[in-house]
Amino acid sequence: MRIVAGTHKGARLFAPKGLATRPTSDRTREAVFQLIGPVEGARVLDLFAGSGALGLEALSRGAVSATMVESDREAVRAIERNVAKLGLDGAVVVRSDAVRFLASARERYDVVFLDPPYEMVESLRMPLDRHLPRVLVPAGVVVYETAAAVVPELPLPTRVSRRYGAARVTVFEVAEERDGS
């Protein structure tokens, strides 16, 4: 697994040992960034971060910050090793349950990556519906990776949903707020 583009293009990433995490493939990560467009200056939240590949990719591509939230101890260690190896400014690693973090989050983000264990997608629906819209800026996007057969739902308009092998990437967007509305 490598950084696909940006200032750290080609850098190899550490992945947590075992089967508890399922890193997003380089090919799928490249597709994600093609779908959402430039991330220069963006504040990114990577929930269920695993190896931190999505957040680190965003930083390599110019995001100003990436908060990577992961509950698994080995995965957190892998993210911390990746952050130390790459020396990317703006990386924040948080060991926490993703829903608990989201419920207490005070910041707002331009991009939120969701890549939970596939078996959790249905149980996450209500907590995500409740907490996710409040942490997004106007015109923010959510990138939700699920099993290919699953089309996730959120209380946000869907921009696009595409299959990549065994995975599906669905991009949701927040409508921009208009003056006087």
User: Residue 65 is part of a domain; what is its CATH number?
Assistant: 3.40.50.150
Average pLDDT over residues 75-95: 94
Q: Look at residue 108 and tell me if it is in a domain.
A: yes
Burial call 147-157: b when 16+ CB within 10 Å, e when fewer = eeebebebebe
Region 101-130: mean pLDDT is 94
Q: Per-residue pLDDT tens for 50-83?
A: 999 999 999 999 999 999 999 999 999 999 999 9
Provide the number of structural domains found in the chain: 1
Q: What is the CA radius of gyration of the chain?
A: 15
In a domain, 56, yes or no: yes
Residue 21 lies in a domain: no
Confidence label for 88 from pLDDT (cuts 50, 70 and 90): confident
Flag whether 36 is in a domain.
Answer: yes
| Domain presence at residue 4 | no
Average pLDDT over residues 15-38: 78
Residue 10 included in any domain: no
Contacts of 89 (CB under 8 A, 6+ apart): 59
Structural domain span for residue 40: 26-173
pLDDT at 11: 82
Position 121 in a domain: yes
Average pLDDT over residues 29-51: 94
Q: Is residue 51 part of a domain?
A: yes
